[in-house]
Amino acid sequence: MHAFDYIRAERVDDVLAALADSNTKCLAGGTNLLDLMKAYVEQPARLVDITHLPLREIQALPEGGMRIGALVPNSDLANDATVRARYPLLAQALVAGASPQLRNMATVGGNLLRRTRCHYFTDIGFSACNKRDPGSGCAAREGSNRIHAILGASDQCIATHPSDMCVALAALDAVVEARSASGVRRIPMDGFHRLPGTTPQRDTELRHDELITAVLLPASPFAERSRYLKVRDRASYEFALVSVAAGLDMQGDTVRDARIVLGGVAHRPWRAKAAERALVDRVLDDKALAAAATAATEGAQPYRDNAFKVTLAQRAVARALREASRA
Partner 1 sequence: MNTTSLTSKGAARRRFLCGTGALTTGIAASACIRVGDAAAAPANAAAIAQAPGAPVPVRLRVNGHDYDLQLEPRVTLLDALREYIGLTGTKKGCDRGQCGACTVLVNDRRINACLALAIAHAGDRIRTVEGLAGAAALHPVQAAFIAHDGFQCGYCTSGQICSAVAMLVEARGDTISAATADVRRKGPVELTDAEIRERMSGNLCRCGAYVGIVAAVRDAAKRV
Residues of the shown chain interacting with partner 1 in the complex, contacts defined by CB under 8 A: 1-6, 8, 21, 23, 27, 30-31, 34-35, 37-38, 43, 45-47, 49, 51, 75, 78-79, 81, 84-85, 88, 91-92, 95-96, 98-102, 104-105, 235-237
Q: For partner 1, which is the closer residue by CB, 73 or 200?
A: 73
**From the CB of 53, what's the least distance to partner 1, in Å?**
13
Rounded to the nearest 5 degrees, what angle is found at the Cα of 103, between the Cα atoms of 241 and 161?
35
CA atoms of 126 and 43, how far apart (whole Å): 17
Q: How far is CA 173 from CA 4, 106, 109, 168, 262, in A?
A: 37, 22, 16, 9, 14
Q: For partner 1, which is the closer residue by CB, 43 or 198?
A: 43
**From the CB of 11, what's the least distance to partner 1, in Å?**
17
Q: Say which residues have a Cβ less than 8 Å from residue 31's Cβ, sequence separation at least 6.
A: 98, 102, 105, 106, 110
Q: For partner 1, which is the closer residue by CB, 33 or 260?
A: 33
**From the CB of 85, what's the least distance to partner 1, in Å?**
6
CA atoms of 279 and 294, how far apart (whole Å): 12
Counting Cβ atoms within 10 Å, is residue 125 exposed (0-12), middle (13-18) or buried (19+)? exposed
Beta bridge partners of 270: 262
**From the CB of 92, what's the least distance to partner 1, in Å?**
6
Q: For partner 1, which is the closer residue by CB, 7 or 61?
A: 7
| Dihedral sign for Cα atoms in the order 98, 211, 83, 230 | negative
Does residue 86 sit in helix, strand or coil?
Answer: helix
Q: For partner 1, which is the closer residue by CB, 193 or 225?
A: 225
CA atoms of 99 and 81, how far apart (whole Å): 20
**From the CB of 75, what's the least distance to partner 1, in Å?**
8
Q: For partner 1, which is the closer residue by CB, 48 or 214?
A: 48
Q: For partner 1, which is the closer residue by CB, 5 or 142?
A: 5
**From the CB of 101, what's the least distance to partner 1, in Å?**
5
| Dihedral sign for Cα atoms in the order 277, 194, 98, 18 | negative
DSSP 283: B
Q: For partner 1, which is the closer residue by CB, 99 or 182?
A: 99
- E runs forming strands in 50-153: 58-60, 66-69
**From the CB of 183, what's the least distance to partner 1, in Å?**
26
Q: How far is CA 13 from CA 16, 23, 187, in A?
A: 5, 18, 20
DSSP 133: S
Q: What number of other Cβ atoms are within 10 A of residue 327's Cβ?
A: 16
**From the CB of 278, what's the least distance to partner 1, in Å?**
28
